[in-house]
Structure 1
């Protein structure tokens, strides 16, 4: 059985964390398959203009045809990450090279949220297996194709490196993610502005909204800004923190939530699909209200932050233990074991 993974989301020097979860999953799968039975065709993510993106995708499509269609290589399964327009390559291979090939697609979020056109729906129909990174996405696929569509919830998976370690808790809160509006970085800044009691907070990531962590915030709180953290650094930072705070407007799964919870760090999160998939309110973390409600009235979340930071030790340990246990099933070996079974089934 020969498998080709295709994705338009892969890390590069410019964007080292963009699509890293796809790369990590592929490398974990390589441990199961021979070098010549599993291949990956990927487009690295880079900063480009609209014209640059058009040129980039044109090269991506043409190179695929010359590399995989006009050669002797033959695949039994194509696994596409990020549905549109990448899935078109799978159809090109199917109709020009191997009409019996099976097409599997993993939907990661924006490829479901932002598409509803005729071409999108038509391309959906030829997929043999639909993998979604949160169970809410099943409703979207079933709405398009009916209840008989073969849809399965399976997130990308997290590294086994994430685990509880016995180090001192230096940070009250940790934020791990890009500094963009979609990640709610503006809400994070607003929350920190509203908190008058000094906190130690680790902010891990980078992006254009870094300026929102201004001098007013830094005068009140002890802010530690960490850019380009490795998995090893994240392991230490998570374990040194009492709570992860996730302020996203939209989150398909939220790998940082899963990573932190696997380290025994409970999460305080906005009410997104990804957070609801992992966080059980009051059991392994806390789900806040909808983003817009919180943004308009910050008082409840400020009160919750203070409340959780004053949690009795026994209650905190219960949250921590529950968080770690609930994240175990989503380590990369477990996810890739199920992927291998899916490949065999189709």
Structure 2
């Protein structure tokens, strides 16, 4: 079985790393003959073909701009197809990757799977993020009905697609694979309290201000800091203090002056695991999240979570049991829940342990489920 994946995760062509995407895709390779991954990159980045494992290869498009990604992805596919007859094209979103995948399906007769890693349909918050999202929505509603299979991350997403008339028989709920053993067995590093002498709040995200809503994040952190001192850690965006003042003028000057914060950029998986375990509360402020891998990882480490009530978060969090849900963009509600957990450490620990039990039962390495889906697609 030969698979081609089309997406935008530059980690898969040697770009800056956050999380375990390289390891996950290398594991897919254990079940197929070849996995080739076409990734949008800009020509100025000068990225090269990247080997993830013996039979898993990342191919950067090095496009002049994202406008040309559609054409470049099809061109890159043609090169791959001449070497190995491709069985399935997997598109990581239903927009430009999905549109390219649909064109490839029609020209080469391959099967098409489209993934939803975001909460796009029936989501006003997502539409408001960027004007182009309205165009992307139209593209997705053209592509998705013509796909052979649609993989979503949550039941909430599946229900949205069914309401839009998508055949439920071709919608599969399979969340992103997570190495649960790694998180469940980890212990909190000794000496954390001595290092900061304050409880630690952590947020994990790439620097995507639209979907991840850093404005709400820093408003909430500032409001919470006025009521309770803590150490704040943001992992993935790599902010500087100058960037914060420029982009988020509402951030508390007191918070900045105390310097009880740390901003980290791309982080190796093992380091990220250590950071989870040296934190007390994990927060997420996304406006549209189809799953919420960070939330599952945090719970697996026994940490309580506070998140905006996205479709994905509502699938993971039972409000008041393993964490708290707050309305999207509601910085005050988020701040209140942060302060509550910091003021009630026994309750926070109880919620974290409840979360550990819940995710242990529900989530894990879904790699083989995804491979079975590919085989099912080929047999239909």
Short-chain TM bin: 0.7 to 0.9
**CA gap 1:228/1:22 in 2 versus in 1, 3 angstroms:** closer
Q: Which residue of 2 aligns with 1:64?
A: 77
What is the number of residues matched between the two proteins?
Answer: 329
| RMSD (CA atoms) | 3.0
Distance of 1:120 and 1:8 partners within structure 2: 16
What displacement does 1:2 show? 3.0
Distance of 1:14 and 1:31 partners within structure 2: 20
Aligned partner of 1:162 among 176, 183, 191? 183
Distance of 2:170 and 2:356 partners within structure 1: 30
Q: After superposition, where does 1:172-321 map in structure 2 within 5 Å?
A: 172-179=200-207, 180-194=209-223, 195-196=225-226, 197-206=228-237, 210-211=244-245, 212=248, 215-220=253-258, 222-288=260-326, 290-292=327-329, 294-295=330-331, 298=332, 300-313=333-346, 315-321=347-353
Where does the alignment leave 5 or more consecutive residues of structure 2 unmatched?
A: 45-62, 124-132, 194-198
Secondary structure of the residue aligned to 1:109 is: coil
Distance of 1:249 and 1:237 partners within structure 2: 24
8 A Cα contact 2:307 2:334, kept in partner: no
Q: Which residue of 1 aligns with 2:101?
A: 90
Distance of 2:265 and 2:142 partners within structure 1: 42
Q: Which residue of 1 aligns with 2:39?
A: 43
- TM-score, normalization by structure 2: 0.75
What displacement does 1:123 show? 2.7
What displacement does 1:248 show? 1.9
What displacement does 1:84 show? 2.2
1:142 aligned to 2:141? no
8 A Cα contact 1:64 1:89, kept in partner: no
1:5 aligned to 2:5? yes
8 A Cα contact 1:173 1:242, kept in partner: yes
- TM-score, normalization by structure 1: 0.82
Secondary structure of the residue aligned to 2:35 is: strand
Structure 1 residues 111-166: Cα deviation after superposition (integer angstroms, max 9, x where no partner): 6564442x543432321211112222213322333454421222222344333314
Secondary structure of the residue aligned to 1:30 is: helix
8 A Cα contact 1:3 1:75, kept in partner: yes
Distance of 1:264 and 1:234 partners within structure 2: 15
Secondary structure of the residue aligned to 2:80 is: helix
Distance of 1:157 and 1:259 partners within structure 2: 11
8 A Cα contact 1:11 1:45, kept in partner: no
Q: Which residue of 1 aligns with 2:59?
A: none
Higher helix share: 2
Distance of 1:278 and 1:17 partners within structure 2: 25
Distance of 2:173 and 2:6 partners within structure 1: 19
Distance of 1:307 and 1:26 partners within structure 2: 39
